[in-house]
Amino acid sequence: MPNRPQAVTSHFAQLGIFPPLLKVLEQLRFTVPTPIQHQSIPAGIEGKDIIGIAQTGTGKTLAFGVPMVQRLYAAKGRGLVLVPTRELALQVDETFRKIGRSLGIHTAVLIGGESMRPQLDALRRTPRIIVATPGRLIDHLQQGTVRLSDVKILVLDEADRMLDMGFAPQINQILKTVPRDRQTMLYSATMPQTIARIAASYMALPVRVEIAPSGTTIEQVEQEIVVVRKESKHDLLESILNGCNGRVLVFSRTKHGAKKICRDLQRTGHPAAEIHSNRSLAQHWTVLGPANSGSLSPPTSPRAGSMSATLPWSLTMISQMTRKITYTGLGGRDGPVARAGRSRLPHPISEAPFAISRG
């Protein structure tokens, strides 16, 4: 049976965190744990395997980061965190730097789209924690530039998103490479059968922490679904943009689609920029950074995975879908929209090929 949300412990000090790390959290002004942190941290510190079902934006990084830092401080070995996107890898690394650096726990980030040289330099410094995207980690394994034989703690963050992005073969290869005698913590917004099979094959009696039922939508975001003919999508998008204040994210299924949408919007007078895997990380952050006067309004992206980044502005998110999907496919992935925007009520429509999230 999963552990359901309970009354949140009043302070991190009651979760079994050792004094040096507790002092770091206090200096960072982390005082009250979120529900996922409240339930995950004690089990993680005990070395138990964990399956955490929680939406994006609920504090999962500290939920697995605190136990990993504490256990690595006390014993030899290395931690490995797998994430689906470059942006999330950098965010996770930033958190580890904040809570682990003063304790001598250093990190390396292995992500695609970036030069191998700084990654090799980081690996030569023998980091205690590696944060990586699956594809780039496989590159390093094939080139013999990283070894995973000393991994004692493995985290799969946003596991469902990694599988959605086609990383199942790489994840299985990595799981077969790391030692079987390890602690594994898996976090996901949904619990598809593929993740259940991974848990059954590679985890030992995991504790299940379920903060919200799999696929639950973010309450602060209003979601609308509109059925429209393909040839009418651009006109509908125009209408939506003309009624929106602030910036807009438009998601397309493919890079070609993102480029076409961006070009069409520019032709009709809307400042637009595209972000996808062919664009550099610096270009991503230029588009997704803080909104300035006269800055770009609707960046277009082919992957919702890029929404792992925290967005410092209010926005409307639009997903252009070429076929019907179930509503639960949107669940748990609007966290950045909720954090950036105003509170709204969810719109309970089951399925359709054009979705809008407003926050």
| Residue that wins the pLDDT comparison between 174 and 213 | 174
Assigned token pair, 48: 């138990």
User: For a pLDDT cut of 70, what percent of the chain falls above it?
Assistant: 72
Domains and CATH numbers, the chain: 12-210 (3.40.50.300), 222-358 (3.40.50.300)
Measured distance CA(311)–CA(284) in Å, rounded: 12
Residues sharing a CB contact under 8 Å with residue 178, sequence separation 6 or more, in sequence order: 80, 148, 151, 154
Identify whether the C-beta of residue 167 lies closer than 8 Å to the C-beta of residue 134: yes
Amino acid 232: pLDDT: 81
Tell me whether strands 183-188 and 50-53 are parallel, antiparallel or unpaired. parallel
pLDDT tens per residue across span 241-269 = 887 777 777 888 788 888 888 888 888 88
Residues sharing a CB contact under 8 Å with residue 52, sequence separation 6 or more, in sequence order: 36, 40, 60, 63, 64, 185, 186, 187, 188, 208, 209, 210, 211
| Residue that wins the pLDDT comparison between 323 and 131 | 131
SS in 3 state form for 307-343?
HHCCCCCCEEEEEECCCCCEHHHHCCCCHHHHHHCCC
Q: How far is CA 297 from the centre of its chain?
A: 23
Backbone angles phi, psi at 202, to 5 degrees: -125, 5
Amino acid 54: pLDDT: 86
pLDDT tens per residue across span 89-104 = 999 999 999 999 999 9
pTM: 0.70
Identify whether the C-beta of residue 262 lies closer than 8 Å to the C-beta of residue 273: yes
pLDDT tens per residue across span 7-63 = 454 689 999 999 999 999 999 999 899 999 999 999 999 999 999 998 877 889 999
Measured distance CA(80)–CA(96) in Å, rounded: 12
Measured distance CA(14)–CA(39) in Å, rounded: 12
CA neighbours closer than 13 Å in the CB half-sphere of residue 21: 26
Question: From residue 10, how far is each of 2, 31, 34 by CA, in Å?
Answer: 22, 8, 10
pLDDT band at 226 (very low <50, low <70, confident <90, very high): confident
Q: How far is CA 310 from the centre of its chain?
A: 10
* Highest-confidence segment of 183-197, 249-263, 341-355: 183-197
